[in-house]
């Protein structure tokens, strides 16, 4: 009895020593992988901007999980004006690519370039205006709808007066985003307060405000995480129409869930295990009979109502 419990005791000691060692190893790995702080702004403010996106042999680990290599030798080029759809199984690394392009994180190895210059070299504020993100669950702040659309583009953000969007610009962006009419129907129109104490907006309305926020920047590069199931059918149609309009005439990297988006994209990149598994057009990839073809087959087997192609294809 005695020796058994002391055996367990020492086993426990071994485990705690082991887990401490593993924790320390994680820290060492993280320190070894030190990269420039993502908050640091570069100084580059180019006079022309085409909107090309390049990932060159990129490897990436989330700082909080230094042992999980999320992207591994990932390379891709999106040319100015090209619409590229990212598809693939859940957890494959699609969102992580988008986060690197918007410079939310910096890569551990390899380079992320915009117009052939490393993202970190650009002036942060300048880049934020040219690279806009519409995510699935947009965040609205406790301020007016107008200021939510303008977020980051106001006088107090240090922008010169000539670069501040006018009310007309805001309304035009909201119009393109299918948001102008519902905003005007609110008690205080564009001055209506959002956030917890403000007006309660539906998921589709929030999405459309987020699209207006992206559009008012007239971004050269649009990063888009298509909504999956958050919206009802009516609201989805209105949001999609706005998104389709938004994608025209700019570089677009879209995490695509809808078959129509995927089919209309100039190119489809299948991301799996942090790497490009295959790329090509819808027809080319179907013909190739690889990962994409099996994702589509699996999706079609789930039933005929397949507006969505890859609603996170989580079974991979």
Question: Which one, 221 or 227, has the nearer CB to ligand ATP?
Answer: 227
Asked if residue 64 binds ligand ATP (CB under 6 A), the reply is yes
Phi-psi region of 168 (alpha: psi -120 to 50; beta: other; left: phi over 0): alpha
State the binding string over 189-228 for ligand ATP (x if CB under 6 A, else -). Answer: ----------------------------------------
**Which residue shows structure tokens 């205080």?**
188
CA–CA dist 14, 6 (Å, integer): 12
5 CA to centre of own chain: 52
Asked if residue 96 binds ligand ATP (CB under 6 A), the reply is yes
Question: Which one, 91 or 290, has the nearer CB to ligand ATP?
Answer: 91
Question: C-beta of 228: minimal distance to ligand ATP in Å?
Answer: 9
Question: Which one, 92 or 204, has the nearer CB to ligand ATP?
Answer: 92
Asked if residue 10 binds ligand ATP (CB under 6 A), the reply is no
Contact pick of 9, 10, 16, 90 for ligand ATP (by CB under 6 A): 90
Asked if residue 27 binds ligand ATP (CB under 6 A), the reply is no
Q: Which residues pair with 269 in a beta bridge?
A: 86, 279
- The H-or-E segment that residue 223 falls in is strand 221-225
Residues in contact with 202: Cβ distance below 8 Å, sequence separation at least 6, in sequence order? 235
Report the b/e string of 5-18 with b at 16+ CB within 10 A.
eeeeeeeeeeeeee
Task: Compute how many residues bind ligand ATP; rule: CB under 6 A.
Answer: 13
Positions in the binding site for ligand ATP (CB under 6 A): 62, 64-65, 70, 88, 90-96, 312
């Amino acid at each position: 009895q005695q020796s058994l419990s002391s055996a367990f005791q020492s086993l426990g000691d071994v485990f705690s020593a082991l887990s401490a060692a593993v924790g320390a190893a994680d820290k060492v790995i993280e320190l070894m992988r030190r990269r420039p702080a993502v908050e640091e702004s570069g100084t580059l403010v180019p006079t022309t901007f085409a909107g090309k996106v390049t990932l060159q042999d990129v490897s990436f680990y989330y700082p909080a999980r230094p042992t999980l290599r999320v992207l591994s030798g990932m390379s891709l080029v999106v040319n100015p004006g090209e619409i590229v759809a990212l598809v693939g199984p859940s957890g494959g690394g699609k969102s992580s690519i988008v986060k690197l392009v918007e410079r939310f994180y910096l890569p551990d190895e390899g380079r992320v370039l915009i117009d052939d210059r490393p993202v970190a070299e650009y002036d942060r504020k300048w880049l934020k205006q040219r690279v806009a993100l519409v995510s699935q669950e947009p965040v609205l702040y406790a301020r007016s709808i107008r200021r939510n659309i303008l977020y980051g583009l106001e006088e107090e953000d240090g922008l010169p007066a000539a670069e501040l969007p006018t009310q007309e610009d805001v309304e035009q962006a909201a119009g393109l985003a299918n948001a102008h009419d519902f905003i005007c129907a609110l008690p205080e129109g564009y001055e209506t307060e959002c956030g917890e104490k403000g007006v309660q907006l539906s998921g589709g309305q929030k999405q459309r405000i987020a699209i207006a926020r992206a559009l008012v920047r007239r971004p050269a590069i649009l990063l888009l995480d298509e909504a999956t199931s958050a919206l009802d059918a009516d609201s989805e149609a209105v949001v999609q129409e706005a998104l389709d309009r938004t994608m025209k005439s700019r570089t677009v990297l879209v995490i695509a869930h809808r078959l129509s988006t995927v089919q209309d994209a100039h190119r489809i990149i299948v991301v799996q295990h942090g790497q490009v598994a295959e790329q090509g057009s819808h027809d080319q990839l179907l013909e190739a009979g690889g990962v994409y073809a099996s994702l589509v087959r699996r999706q079609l087997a789930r039933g005929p109502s397949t507006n969505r192609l890859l609603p996170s294809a989580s079974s991979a």
